[in-house]
Amino acid sequence: MATAPEPKPFIARTWDYVTETQIWKSIFRHGMPDTNRNRVLVVMTNVFLHLHPVKIRKSGIRLKFTWCMGGLTFFLFLVETFTGLLLMFYYRPTVAYAYMDIVDLAEQVPLGIMREIHRWGAHAMVITVWLHMFRVFMTGSYKPPREFNWNVGVILLVLTLLLSFTGYLLPWDQLAIWAITVGSNMARATPLLGHEGPGAQLLVLGDVKMVHAGSDARFALLGGRFVGEGALLRFYVLHCVGIPLVAGILMAIHFWRVRKDGGISGPL
């Protein structure tokens, strides 16, 4: 008497059913990535995963080599984007509302940690991006053919600092405006372009000064002669739209070039 084949468990049957539907098949054009063919397909047919190559050096995935600092930086960028979006629902970038909106977030939301995650994530991102640069330097990974990607990385590092700097102002408390005042005061001394910078006195038309407190680099940065309403709006727009947009494009180039320049670096 032949025994009947054991019936598959419920979960497996459901799984089989779901993965056989037209909807599933239209999204995923390959089976489970447990065969080599499907492992290739899963990377090649996914817009996010295909920034990776299909195969990679073993030394390139050891944490002792990569420290995962670049990956963590990107992860933190995503965390900042998500928490930042939620914060934008509750925050109005005007002198009248900004501070109270932040206080409300702290006092009215039980167990609310969105602002905490956003702020500590930002600090962490500055640290991870430094450590990423440190690792890339120490493994000589900027050497040919990766010179250009190192440059993209340097710009991304600067953008990370600028993202953090513009965000620093938004709570509109004493910490915020004075840190930005100290930081932006430097722009006053820009050679030629700052009204207290060397050479600015040379830029005169007759006896009319072209570079003064109302027209210099600092004024352009702050949208005013001091850190006020104009600066708050300017920093808000740069923080939420301008810099993330540029950083996002550069990140795409950065990751793409990692792959195009031969994947993660290793001895030749």
Partner 1 sequence: MGAINAVKDAINFLTAPAIFISLAAVLFFIAVPRRAFWTRRVAMVGTILGALFVGVSMLDPDFALIVKKADNVPIVAMLFLVGFFLWLSLSQAHENDARIAAGEPPVEGTPREAEKTWVWPDLVYTEMLCMVIGMIVLVVWSLALAAPIEEPANPARTPNPSKAPWYFLGLQEMLVYFDPWLAGVVFPSLIIVGLMAIPYIDVNPKGNGYFTFKERKVEIMLFLFGFLILWVLLVLLGTFLRGPNWNFFGPYEYWDLHKLEALNNVNLSEYVFVKWTHLGLPRNMLLRELPGILAVLFYVGVLPGLLAFRHRILGLPIGLKKYYDRLGPWRYAVFVMLLLSMIALPIKMVLRWTLNLKYIIAMPEIFFNI
Q: Residues 78 to 117: which contact partner 1 by CB under 8 A? A: 79, 95, 99, 102-103, 106, 113, 115-117
Nearest to 259 by CA among 86, 52, 23: 52
Q: What would the two tokens of residue 151 be?
A: 């440059």
CA–CA dist 233, 93 (Å, integer):
6
In whole angstroms, how close is the CB of 138 to partner 1 at the nearest point? 4
C-alpha distances out from residue 159 to 34, 167, 173, 193, 246, Å: 40, 12, 23, 22, 8
Near partner 1 by CB under 8 A: residue from 91, 93, 163, 165: 165
Asked if residue 159 binds partner 1 (CB under 8 A), the reply is no
Residues in the chain: 268
In whole angstroms, how close is the CB of 86 to partner 1 at the nearest point? 13
In whole angstroms, how close is the CB of 5 to partner 1 at the nearest point? 30
Asked if residue 236 binds partner 1 (CB under 8 A), the reply is no
In whole angstroms, how close is the CB of 245 to partner 1 at the nearest point? 20
In whole angstroms, how close is the CB of 85 to partner 1 at the nearest point? 16
Near partner 1 by CB under 8 A: residue from 12, 56, 245, 252: 56
The set of residues, in sequence order, having a beta carbon less than 8 Å from that of 20 and lying 6+ positions away, is: none
Contact between 251 and 243 (Cβ < 8 Å)? no
Within residues 12-31, the interface with partner 1 by CB under 8 A covers none
Query: Where does residue 138 rank: exposed (0-12), middle (13-18), buried (19+ CB within 10 A)?
Result: exposed
Taking CB under 8 A as the rule, which mask of x and - marks residues 122-151 in contact with partner 1? Answer: -xx-xx--xx-xxx-xxxxxxxx-xx--xx
